[in-house]
Every structure is written in structure tokens, then in C-alpha cells.
């Protein structure tokens, strides 16, 4: 299969610390090209967000490299993978929550992680970072766990109003903030040519969906270096448009006939 992958992050224009953690890991498992892409965004207003996000990223990386290859590819594999991803995030929630209790602080992060095995994908998600599938149209695969998103679901706010509402920055779920966390999981199968985009809220706030499609689906890249320059260029545009938060993105692009 013909995959190209790259990620990038930037501190933004007003933050003193980059609290985002982003990575892509790859390896062949049982003869299949597999990728693990992760975006974590340390929760602003709480302590040590950069510690929380990096710990969550590292735990998922270890799971992918050392535990995932041990799962047999039987008919129960899909269910097992989703359950193991959920358990991995639950464990990190416990670790960060107890870390905060021991120091008298609250320490938390979002997480949006994608496991891609060939064309099969598995997602674990908490918070307001996002994962998109770009396949000729923009498919948002994750749900924002924010106050504004909840108000939209309840019919109190329209989607358009929510984009301008301050409640879109109020996160209802994060890893480490509370003893219990609502973890969302998804799975599916991509078809044809496609790209996956994972990003923190600093990336998508000022990015139009048509731009995401044009930059990461319509364009073909010959190398991860070229893709990395495209991500870096988009981050620059977002900063020019006034984005002050940390900005992070990870992209995996697949082309059938290259």
C-alpha cells in the first residue's frame, strides 16, 4: 500500500508552553502496514497540561508498539482492539487523576488517536481535538465533548452559532481531570484514495473544510517531507488569521495507484 504520513506542532502566538503532544508511529504487523497517529492537547487552565498530554501520547505509543501486535487477527479482533484502546485511556486517566490528587492539582488532556491497519481504522477519543476522514468529502469522525456541542445536540444552539460561542472552549470530558471519564470509540473501513487528519482545536478553529480537503486530499505528496511542509504552511496561515493557541496536526495519506 502507498502511505505517506507526517505531523507538526507549533506553540502559537501567545502561549508560553506548547501543551500539545502529537506523533505518528508505523510498523508492519502480520504483513499489514499499520499506523498509530495521536493528538493530545493539555487542558488550559489546569496544571501541567504538557505533562498530561505527553504521558497520554507515550502510553498509546507503547500500546501500539508492544501490545497491539500480540492481538490475533480473528473475528473478535475488532472488538478486542477497541476495548484495549479504551482500557489504555482509562488507565492513563487513573494515573493522571491520582498524580493530581497527590500534588493538590488537576492535570488533564484531550486525546484523539487513530489506529490504521491497512484500510481498517480504530479511534479512541476524549475531548475536543478532532479526527477527519477526507475521501472526496470531509467526514468528521469524532464528537466534540464541549458545552457548546452539547447545546447543539439539545437544540439550544445551532451549529453556526456554536462556532462563535465561547462555550465551545468549555471541555466536558478530559483524561485526568476526574475519577471517571467518558471515552468514545469508533471503527470503520476507508475506501479508494483517502487521507486522515487529526488536529487540536488550535488547528481547526480558523480552517475551512474546503481547505482541509484541497490541501490534504486533492494534493498528492511524493514524500513525508513534502507533506510536512504543507502542514507547516497551513499552521503559518492559521497564525496569520489570529489563532493564538497551540496548533497541531497529523496526516496520513493513502493513494492506490502510485
What DSSP assignment string belongs to 32-47?
EEEEEEEEEEBPTTSS
Tell me what pLDDT residue 162 has: 57
Maximum Cα–Cα distance for the chain, whole Å?
55
Tell me what pLDDT residue 159 has: 63
Indicate the pLDDT class of residue 223, thresholds 50, 70 and 90. very high
Cβ–Cβ < 8 Å for 58, 40: no
Indicate the pLDDT class of residue 112, thresholds 50, 70 and 90. very high
Q: Is the pLDDT of residue 163 over 70?
A: no
Concatenate the DSSP letters of all residues of the chain into one string: --EEEEEEEE--SS-SS--EEEEEEEEEETTEEEEEEEEEEBPTTSS-HHHHHHHHHHHHHHIIIIIGGGS--STTHHHHHHHHHHHHHHHHHHHHHHHHHHHT----B-EEEEEEETTEEEEEEESS-EEEEESSSEEE-S---BHHHHHHHTTSS-HHHHHH-GGGG-BS--BTSSSS---EEEEEE--SSEEEEEE-HHHHTT--HHHHHIIIIIS--SSHHHHHHHHHHHHHHHHHTT--S-EEEEEEEE-TT-
Residue of higher predicted confidence among 15 and 120:
120
Give me 27's grid cell.
Answer: 510498523
| Average pLDDT estimate for 124-130 | 97
Tell me what pLDDT residue 73 has: 72
CB count within 10 Å of CB 71 equals 15
- Is the CA virtual torsion 121, 144, 159, 231 positive or negative? negative
Tell me what pLDDT residue 14 has: 85
| Average pLDDT estimate for 128-148 | 94
Cβ–Cβ < 8 Å for 204, 130: yes
Task: Please state which of the ranges 77-91, 135-149, 196-210 shows the lowest mean pLDDT.
Answer: 135-149
Q: Is the pLDDT of residue 95 over 60?
A: yes
Tell me what pLDDT residue 15 has: 87
How deeply is 186 buried, as exposed, middle or buried, from its count of CB atoms within 10 A (0-12, 13-18, 19+)? middle
Query: Which position has the grid cell 508560553?
Result: 16
| Average pLDDT estimate for 50-77 | 92
| Average pLDDT estimate for 201-215 | 95
Question: What is the rounded CA–CA span in Å between residue 4 and residue 226?
Answer: 10
Q: Is the pLDDT of residue 147 over 90?
A: no
Q: Is the pLDDT of residue 72 over 60?
A: yes
Cβ–Cβ < 8 Å for 112, 39: yes
pLDDT tens column, 27-46: 998 889 999 999 999 997 78
Amino acid at each position: 500500500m502507498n502511505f505517506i504520513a507526517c505531523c507538526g506542532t507549533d506553540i502559537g502566538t501567545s502561549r508560553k508552553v506548547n501543551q500539545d503532544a502529537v506523533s505518528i508511529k508505523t510498523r508492519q504487523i502480520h504483513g499489514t502496514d499499520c499506523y498509530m497517529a495521536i493528538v493530545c492537547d493539555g487542558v488550559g487552565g489546569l496544571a501541567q497540561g504538557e505533562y498530561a498530554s505527553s504521558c497520554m501520547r507515550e502510553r498509546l505509543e507503547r500500546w501500539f508498539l508492544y501490545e497491539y501486535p500480540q492481538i490475533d487477527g480473528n473475528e473478535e479482533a475488532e472488538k478486542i482492539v477497541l476495548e484495549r484502546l479504551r482500557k489504555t485511556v482509562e488507565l492513563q486517566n487513573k494515573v493522571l487523576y491520582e498524580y493530581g490528587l497527590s500534588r493538590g492539582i488537576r492535570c488533564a488532556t484531550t486525546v484523539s488517536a487513530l489506529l490504521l491497519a491497512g484500510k481498517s481504522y480504530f479511534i479512541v477519543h476524549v475531548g475536543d481535538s478532532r479526527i477527519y476522514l477526507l475521501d472526496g468529502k470531509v467526514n468528521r469522525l469524532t464528537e466534540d465533548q464541549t458545552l457548546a456541542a452539547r447545546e447543539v445536540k439539545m437544540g439550544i444552539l445551532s451549529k453556526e452559532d456554536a462556532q462563535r460561542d465561547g462555550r465551545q472552549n468549555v471541555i466536558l470530558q478530559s483524561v485526568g481531570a476526574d475519577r471517571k471519564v467518558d471515552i468514545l470509540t469508533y471503527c470503520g473501513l476507508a475506501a479508494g484514495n483517502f487521507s486522515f487528519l487529526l488536529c487540536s482545536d488550535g488547528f481547526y478553529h480558523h480552517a475551512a473544510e474546503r481547505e482541509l480537503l484541497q490541501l490534504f486530499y486533492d494534493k498528492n505528496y511524493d514524500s513525508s517531507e513534502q507533506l510536512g511542509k504543507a502542514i507547516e504552511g497551513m499552521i503559518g496561515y492559521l497564525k496569520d488569521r489570529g489563532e493564538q493557541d497551540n496548533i497541531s496536526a497529523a496526516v496520513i495519506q493513502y493513494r492506490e495507484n502510485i
